Amino acid sequence: MTRVLVITGDPIGPKMAGPAIRAWNMAQLLAADNEVALMTTTMLEPLDAPFALHRVAPGENAAFAELEAWADVIVFQGHGLAQFDALRTTQKVVVADIYDPMHLEMLEQGRELGRATWELRVTTATRVLNEQLALADFFLCASERQRLFYLGQLTTLGRVNPATYENDPHLEKLLAVAPFGLSSTPPAHEVDVVKGVRAGIAADDKLLIWGGGLYNWFDPLSLIRAVARLTERRDGVRLLFLGTKHPGVDEMGIVRESFDLARELGVLDTAVFFNESWVQYSERENWLLEADAGVSTHMSHVETTFAFRTRILDYLWAGLPMVVTEGDSFAELVAAEGLGVVVPAQDVTALEQALERVLFDDAFVAETRRNVERVRAQFVWERTLAPLVEFVAAPHRAADNADGRADRSAGGKRRKPYGPAHNARMFWHYLRAEGPVRALKRVTSRLNRSR
């Protein structure tokens, strides 16, 4: 029996976001045939699980070394490799889950920061990801688009070489597609949570749901404008943003911009509503099943090209028609399989028309729901994570790591991204780049997250 350690940087508990949900389902599937432990580097709340649960903070190298010594295979996502010395130097089989191109994401996430901080965030994410690509034995990405992107990056780092290519010309033993997934158990509505419950949303209203957080690379503003216009012609149209307070990410500026715009247009708490918390993972089906359609709108940029919008999986799971912005791999799926309507980025008129269609065109909605029912079986966790399950059944070092893990990471002094010295460096950076008030706010935020 293989002993597998799965690592996430996201909080584990009743209110989980995408990375933790993915890590949880990895652990759950692997636990059927292996001995599994799931570890978080942030917050851990008690949950029933068929595997062990651990919390090890970044830099707690002695505690992590015990888990590293126990494991045969280590699966990690996020910044794990940079946070523990034993993971960088381990001779165990290492799987890097790179479904989130965090360096591209940081290009948008850091846009509202000062230039110096923006550049620091992007270069840090790029360095962290390059180190993962240089050292791990097997990689998981979320789509064929991402696979082509990462093959280019792996080639630049020297991982596409005679050793990895000789017996694997498609490099499938090095990099596999393992999309985010959904439960094979259909959702069940157990309690009313929105319609007829929340003030301003009646039981017979048409409800659009935004099934996740609000981040800077999304475009909720065009959506709010489209809903405001539609309510001038159609009664009972409601939009609910399901979560504005991510359990592991600081609130971004787009959240306040969205509130302000809804208020300015006179639709806040009449047609546009915000759930100012985070819905528990086990309860989200009640919210989804009361919706009439799911929406996901974003800007057009390089992050869009390689993104994998995990909220779309919840729409598939709940059988919802959807309206999405063009440009990512899911938009291609929605268009090809007839799962809803795809609109150009920031086109409020097209968005208004699409929303009207998925809410009021009964024939279109019925056909779309049939298509969603057919397609969602492709994305159950048992299918999307099959490459990981198969790899763990016969784990092996990468061909170019067979004689020991080579150090292909960039040279130069490596500073640890945790601990007092790191905190002092970051405080000095923010003090110089953003001033004392912003620096103090960042210190307070960091202290609150560590509690």
The answer to whether position 200 is within a domain reads no
CATH of the domain at 364: 3.40.50.2000
- What 3-state DSSP class applies to 212? coil
23 and 58 belong to one structural domain: yes
240 and 102 belong to one structural domain: no
Beta-bridge partner residues of 5: 37, 74
The answer to whether position 186 is within a domain reads no
Structure token digits, residue 440: 């103090």
Give dist(CA 158, CA 186) in Å, integer: 44
The answer to whether position 243 is within a domain reads yes
285 and 247 belong to one structural domain: yes
Q: Give the pLDDT of residue 411.
A: 45
Compute φ and ψ for 73, nearest 5 degrees: -130, 135
Give dist(CA 131, CA 411) in Å, integer: 11
- What band does 437 get if pLDDT is binned at 50, 70 and 90? low
221 and 353 belong to one structural domain: yes
405 and 375 belong to one structural domain: no
Top mean-pLDDT range of 100-104, 208-212, 305-309, 387-391:
387-391
- Contact (CB, 8 A) for 344 and 324: no
The answer to whether position 62 is within a domain reads yes
The answer to whether position 297 is within a domain reads yes
Lowest-confidence segment of 103-117, 216-230, 237-251, 430-444 by average pLDDT: 430-444
How confident is the model over 118-133, as pLDDT tens digits? 899 899 999 999 999 9
Compute φ and ψ for 77, nearest 5 degrees: -135, 165
Q: Residue 402's domain spans which residues?
A: 3-181+384-417
217 and 329 belong to one structural domain: yes
Give dist(CA 381, CA 221) in Å, integer: 32
Query: How many other β-carbons are positioned within 10 Å of the β-carbon of residue 396?
Result: 13
Beta-bridge partner residues of 55: 40
305 and 440 belong to one structural domain: no
The answer to whether position 400 is within a domain reads yes
The answer to whether position 187 is within a domain reads no
159 and 294 belong to one structural domain: no
Is this structure's pTM higher than 0.75?
yes
The answer to whether position 192 is within a domain reads no
Number of folded domains that form the chain: 3
124 and 45 belong to one structural domain: yes
Q: Give the pLDDT of residue 415.
A: 58
